[in-house]
Amino acid sequence: MVSHRSKWTFENLLQAAARHAVPMGRRGAAVLAVCCALAVAVACGGPQPVGPAPEQLTVQVLSTRPHDPSSFTEGLEIDGGQLYESTGLEGHSLIRRSDATSGATQAMVRLPNDLFGEGVTLAGDTLWQLTWQDGFAIRRDPQTLADLGHVRFDGEGWGLCHEPGRLVMSNGSDTLTFRDPATFAITGSVKVRQQGVPLDMLNELECVDGVVWANVWKTDQIVRIDPATGQVTATVDASGLRGPSKNPDNGLNGIAAIAGTDHFLLTGKLWPTVFEVRFVPIRNAP
Ligand SMILES: [Ca+2]
């Protein structure tokens, strides 16, 4: 997600991405960022952290595979061995279906130049793709990726995932909105809190096994959210995946659970690599 479109030239972002390379390194940075956020909230008279601290996890890298370094990843999801990816930036946004293992592209559709793609999720026979500030979701055929129509929504579109009976959508705030998977109509919402403190900038989402995993924009952190309460129950420090680039705008974004395993594919905006990982307690990390 971005705050000012004018700051985002594709060429600048590619230059920053070119400095990406070496995995593993600054474990603790994401944890520190959240601790600072909580400290600032308290120092500024915000809500005091309450309740048990979230479980602290990190990533164990199991394998890597190539990722299109021109993909400004905004949404990632696997279904039946097929990887769906939605990318952003005006003039560069697209939707792609590829083999989840080999990465070979099976279908791809570019968005009109004035649109900015965001989250994506499959719900039955419908592949939903968000736009960022364009005010509508695109209903697509999962096989051909053809545009079958648009459904308008208020506000911004960031992340999207599908759990049984409903969609879960983020919009850059601390609110997750629940939507009907067939009509996209709002059915409810929940405020996300980490030890009682609002957590905003929720970006790419992944729904699996009754929880929602969310990238937190401009951090190397993923959080696990109980969608029934909005409580953050775990934090994942994924700072080890990032290369030497300090540009937060092309950071970690993209979570796809691999069905039948506890593995996830993770990547980032303009990253050259997709990481297959497992989330493990920090004390047990290799
Ligand atoms: Ca996802």
Domains of the chain: 51-284 (2.130.10.10)
Rounded distance from Cα 48 to ligand 1 centre (Å): 31
| Tokens 């989402």 -> residue | 205
pLDDT classification of 51: cutoffs 50, 70, 90: confident
- The rounded Å distance from CA 100 to ligand 1 centre is 13
- Name which residue leads in pLDDT, 40 or 24: 40
pLDDT value of residue 271:
93
Distance 78 CA to ligand 1 centre (A): 8
Q: How far apart are CA 157 and CA 2, in angstroms?
A: 11
Cα 46 to averaged position of ligand 1 atoms, centre (Å): 31
Predicted pLDDT at 45: 61
Taking the centre of ligand 1 as the mean of its atom positions, its distance from the CA of residue 256, in whole angstroms, is: 5
Residue 42 CA, ligand 1 centroid: distance in Å? 32
Report the separation in Å between the CA atom of 43 and the middle of ligand 1, taken as the mean of its atom positions.
Answer: 34
Query: Measured in angstroms, how far is the CA atom of residue 160 from the centroid of ligand 1?
Result: 7
Using one digit for the tens of pLDDT, what is the confidence trace for 213-242? Answer: 999 999 999 999 999 999 999 999 999 998
Q: What is the mean pLDDT of residues 45-60?
A: 86
Region 114-131 average pLDDT: 98
250 — pLDDT class (breaks 50, 70, 90): confident
Q: Give the rounded percent of residues in the chain with a pLDDT score beyond 90.
A: 76
38-42, 47-51, 144-148, 171-175: least confidently modelled range: 38-42
Say how many Å lie between the CA of residue 114 and the centre of ligand 1. Answer: 24
Q: What does DSSP say about strands 263-268 and 232-237: parallel, antiparallel, or unpaired?
A: unpaired
- Measured in Å, residue 163 CA sits from the centre of ligand 1 at 11
pLDDT level of residue 275 (50, 70, 90 thresholds): very high
Distance between Cα 206 and ligand 1 center (Å): 4
Q: How many CB atoms lie within 10 A of CB 154?
A: 8
pLDDT category of residue 23 using cuts at 50, 70 and 90: very low
On average, the pLDDT of the chain sits at 87
Sign for the CA dihedral angle at 31, 36, 38, 39 comes to positive
Q: Is the per-residue pLDDT at 17 higher than 70?
A: no
Ligand 1 centroid, distance to 212 Cα (angstroms)? 9
What is the chain's length? 286
* Residue keyed to tokens 């364009």: 134
Q: Residue 97's pLDDT band (boundaries 50, 70, 90)?
A: very high
- For the segment 182-196, what is each residue's pLDDT rounded down to a tens digit? 999 999 999 999 999
Q: Which of 48-52, 80-84, 229-233 has the lowest mean pLDDT?
A: 48-52
Question: Do 58 and 238 meet the contact criterion of CB atoms below 8 Å apart?
Answer: yes
* Interval 149-158 mean pLDDT: 98
pTM: 0.86
